Structure 1
């Protein structure tokens, strides 16, 4: 099964709050103001631009149906 990915660009002032030694849990990224639906996992920081956070979410049958409905 595949996954969706999403890049979140933070204002540089907020990016200073991103931990440098680990990826953030959902409660951590929500606490700095990132708003998105549940189920997204922070999986990487874009090293050349640390204010860009990379998230992914597993593609499952229910969100695949939602995606197809959005296309129609």
Structure 2
């Protein structure tokens, strides 16, 4: 399923790498490394909705938001969720 019309990104699950989670007291964060060769395409897609990143193959619990594009390395996706949404 294309993330945007005209852009078809397919990735193997074993090529997606998840960071450890870290917090700042308000949010929990994690970054997800995708294959470098997808950087340009991911930059064109922009910030993804949950439906889009799940279609891409990213697997994580509910509540995560793709909130930032790291311009120097667009293949690294930055996610966050409010700590108040985290079930302990």
Q: Shorter-chain-normalised TM-score: which range?
A: 0.7 to 0.9
Q: Per-residue displacement from partner, 1:10-60 (whole Å, max 9, x unpaired)?
A: 113444542525310001001111110010000001110010000000011
For this pair of structures, how many residues does the alignment match? 64
User: Runs of 5+ in structure 2 lacking a partner?
Assistant: 1-24
Structure 1 segments unaligned to the other structure (5+ residues): 67-72
In 2, the alpha carbon distance for the partners of 1:5 and 1:62 equals 11
Runs of 4+ with >3 A deviation: 13-17
Q: Mark the structure with the bigger radius of gyration.
A: 1
- Length-normalised TM-score, structure 1: 0.73
Q: Please point out which of 39, 44, 48 is paired with 2:63.
A: 39
- Structure 1 contact 17–32 (Cα < 8 Å) conserved: no
Over aligned residue pairs, what C-alpha RMSD do you find?
2.2
